[in-house]
Every structure is written in C-alpha cells, then in structure tokens.
Amino acid sequence: MGNLVVDNAQNAQSCICPQCPTYKKSELTGILYCAKGKAAESAEAAGCICPNCPVAKQYNLDQPYYCMKGKSVDLK
Ligand code: SF4
Ligand code: SF4
C-alpha cells in the first residue's frame, strides 16, 4: 500500500500535475490525484512528473500516474 496523502490546500498548491506532459496532452482538469483518486477525464500516458513533486517527496510516494491509477493509499 502507498502512503495516505492528505487532501488539503497546501498539498494541492504543491501538486505539479498541470505541468506534466500527460496532463497537457489529455484534457485533465483535476489536481492532487495521489490524494483525491483517479481523474474524471480519461488520460493518455505521455510521461509523469510525480517523482519530482514535493508532495511525492514528503509522503515517500513511489509510483507514477495517480491520475489513472487512483489514490496512493489504494495502490500496492
Ligand atoms: S505526486 Fe503527482 S498527483 Fe500527487 S501531488 Fe504530486 S504531481 Fe500531483
Ligand atoms: S499523476 Fe503524473 S501523469 Fe498524472 S497528471 Fe499528475 S504528474 Fe501527470
């Protein structure tokens, strides 16, 4: 199981999803997928920058593509 990421304003502000190639290529509108879960929109994988994100570092996250896979806490 991944760590539980808190869905709060500070983490939302730190999330770098909108800068990522997958985000730009797809029509994603959300943020903080590691805490909130999968995106409502479908996404096509084109690279994930989660490993560079301060939230991933803070919570020791080890996976990419939370926008497609869902919350960190739900992932093995
Ligand atoms: S780890 Fe990924 S999904 Fe989570 S806040 Fe950072 S960029 Fe967004
Ligand atoms: S979870 Fe990863 S692939 Fe998805 S939008 Fe965030 S940085 Fe991009």
Determine the atom of ligand 1 nearest the C-alpha atom of 16.
7
Q: Give the pLDDT score at 38.
A: 97
CB burial string 63-74: b at 16+ within 10 A, e below = ebbbbbbbbbee
Q: What pLDDT, on a 0 to 100 scale, did the predictor assign at position 76?
A: 85
- pLDDT score of 1: 79
Distance, in Å, from the CA atom of 65 to the CA atom of 42, rounded to the nearest integer, reads 12
What pLDDT score was predicted for residue 4? 98
Whole-number pLDDT of residue 47:
98
Closest among 49, 58, 40, 62 to 16, alpha carbons compared: 49
Q: What pLDDT is recorded for position 29? A: 95
pLDDT value at position 3? Answer: 96
Give every residue of the chain whose pLDDT is below 70, as ranges.
none
What is the pTM assigned to this prediction? Answer: 0.96
Which ligand neighbours the alpha carbon of 20 most closely?
Answer: 2
Residue closest by Cα to atom 5 of ligand 1:
15
